Amino acid sequence: MFKKLFGDKEAQAAIARSMEELRLKQEVNASLWGLGGTERWDADLELGIIHFSGSDGVVVSAPVQIIGTLNTDDRTWLWGWDHPSVKEPLAHAARLCRDFGKRYGLHRFMERKI
């Protein structure tokens, strides 16, 4: 299944490296800021900032990117690179995903809605 979704070995290796980097970043952010256990989060899409708030009063803010959105009613995914509600600067990371898909011929990364 993994190969079917992520193509050849080079693409699979890139995904594996990305997942490990994500895991490490999440571990550090959980340790330093308590992220992962915060009570709420709010995204200001006008400013491009996400805020994580904990019960201890700590608020952590960071730049936000919108990779895409999941519609839970029909279980579809709409990529941020062609989402009518996502402003251009907030879709940069989504465009990187699309470019990755183009490079490796991964259609799920290039189809607007899946």
Residues 46 and 24 grouped into a single domain? no
The per-residue pLDDT for 4 is: 54
Distance CA 85, CA 30 (A): 30
Residues 21 and 46 grouped into a single domain? no
Residues 87 and 73 grouped into a single domain? yes
Structural domain including 108 reads 65-114
pLDDT in tens, 26-58: 899 888 877 777 789 999 999 999 999 988 888
Residues 14 and 46 grouped into a single domain? no
The per-residue pLDDT for 11 is: 86
The per-residue pLDDT for 21 is: 93
Alpha-carbon torsion angle 13, 16, 21, 25, nearest 10: 170
DSSP string for residues in 52-74: EE-TTS-EEEEE----EEEETTT
Residues 57 and 44 grouped into a single domain? yes
pLDDT band at 100 (very low <50, low <70, confident <90, very high): very high
Average of per-residue pLDDT across 8-23: 89
Name residue, tokens 């952590």: 60
The per-residue pLDDT for 29 is: 84
Residues 72 and 112 grouped into a single domain? yes
The per-residue pLDDT for 88 is: 95
pLDDT in tens, 59-99: 899 999 999 999 999 999 999 999 999 999 999 999 999 99
Residues 55 and 72 grouped into a single domain? no
Residues 69 and 112 grouped into a single domain? yes
Total of domains in the chain: 3
Residues 49 and 28 grouped into a single domain? no
- On the question of pLDDT at 23 being above 90, the answer is yes
- On the question of pLDDT at 6 being above 80, the answer is no
